[in-house]
Amino acid sequence: MDDTIGGSGRTLEELSAYFDAGRSPRVVAIEEDAECRAMLASMERLSRLTRALVVEESGAVDAGWVDRVLAVVRDEVRAGRDLPLEAIDDRTETTVTEGALRELVRRAGDEVDDVLVGSVELRIDEAPALHVRVTIGVRFGSPMRARADAVRAAIGAALAAHAPAPVREIDVVIDDVFDAGVLDA
């Protein structure tokens, strides 16, 4: 499997170093690549969460846990199939990639307080209808059902305007509970 992200020719480690350097000096091959931008956006959300945990808990965030989250994100930012959107007229065709939809879902879920999205799976059946399955980590002490419901609502709202098919179901699986000290995947 190619370890580079998008068409940039850069690896996850190189993107991470670029992110850590404040995205400076600007690298056009990274900034103009949709998969790289999605990866950098996920790094920013993960960075905000880990900074908040460290400040609130005066602890250290397990680097292995962060690496595992970024590895899942790296695999999911790949563009994947083109999914056709409803045509405005017969002369045009508009598509959205699976990667773009996964990033939309991930961003919506990560914006819910005390939640970090782990993985995102999309499936379109023959109807056609969209089925979404996400795994999330919830911060220790946060009400799990309420966080899962909030993630489901945020994803539903985000997909309402952008999905190539009606959303039939959004399954939210809590597979992690994290705090600032020990974060297990």
Q: What fold characterizes domain 4-178?
A: Alpha-Beta Plaits (3.30.70)
For range 37-52, the mean pLDDT: 74
Is pTM beyond 0.95 here?
no
For range 6-22, the mean pLDDT: 83
Please check the confidence at residue 123 and state whether its pLDDT lies above 60: yes
For range 179-184, the mean pLDDT: 44
Nearest to 175 by CA among 150, 154, 147: 147
pLDDT band at 15 (very low <50, low <70, confident <90, very high): confident
Q: What is the DSSP string of 40-98?
A: HHHHHHHHHHHHHHHHHH-----HHHHHHHHHHHHHHSS---EEEPPPSSTT---EEEH
Give pLDDT, residue 185: 36
For range 54-82, the mean pLDDT: 58
For range 156-174, the mean pLDDT: 89
